[in-house]
Amino acid sequence: GLTLLPTTASAQLIIEEVIVTAQKREQNIQDIGVAVSAFSSEDLNKLGADNVHEVLDFVPGTGFYDVTGGGVPVIVIRGVGLQNFRVNDTPTTAIYVDDVYQTSVALASSTLFDLERLEMLKGPQGGLYGRNAIGGAIQLISRRPNFEETDGYVTIGYGQYNRIETEAAVGGPLSDQIAMRVSGRVVTSDDTYFHSVTGNFDHGEEEKISLRGQFSIRPTD
């Protein structure tokens, strides 16, 4: 005879805990009532993101437009954006680097490097972030100096238009109370990054040089 035995199957879903500081303190992203998109340094590396534009491509309800080709972009979140091209205009999306407000919209096109995390908050954020946050806020959080050990990395990339990307960082303890970290990124390319719509010429040669230095102090009693 044929005997059928019952079988059971089980599956366990594990949701990784994501800690953000969108509300000025460390919280689980599942516990806050704000629409936040968070990208860790590993996420940014997998995306190959060089600037905020390449991150916004993966965030629904957002847009990034550089129609002038002059490095003065327009960020739109949930339909709210400043449609202008002057470098001294202040945007409707506030951009912060380690809690320091970036005064010019041109800084939205600056290169990303050696970050701990990128957080994007959708909707008005004036209560916690102050001015120019009608559309939302973007917070870039640098990787902090390490008091436990010396670490670092070097990466080199090559792409279209002879684009060369070099990034490096090194940091560690100088003593029991002081740690440091130095990081930088250099991006160069040939022309034809932007294509002219008014003539038969191309432009857009890139040359970006970024450097960051940090010291962290743990005072004794």
Question: Across residues 92-119, what is the average pLDDT?
Answer: 87
Question: Across residues 96-114, what is the average pLDDT?
Answer: 85
What is the predicted pLDDT for the residue at 70?
A: 60
What is the predicted pLDDT for the residue at 178?
A: 95
* pTM of the shown model: 0.78
Q: Which long-range contacts (CB under 8 A, 24 or more apart) does 72-77 make?
A: 72/105, 72/106, 72/109, 73/105, 73/106, 73/108, 73/109, 74/105, 75/105, 75/108, 75/135, 75/138, 76/135, 77/120, 77/122, 77/123, 77/135, 77/136
- The yes-or-no verdict on residue 65 having pLDDT over 70 is yes
Q: Are 40 and 21 in contact (CB under 8 A)?
A: no
- The yes-or-no verdict on residue 211 having pLDDT over 90 is yes
What is the predicted pLDDT for the residue at 67?
A: 67
What is the predicted pLDDT for the residue at 200?
A: 59
What is the predicted pLDDT for the residue at 83?
A: 77
| Tens of pLDDT, residues 108-137 | 778 899 999 999 999 888 888 887 888 889
Work out the pLDDT band at 167, boundaries 50, 70, 90: very high
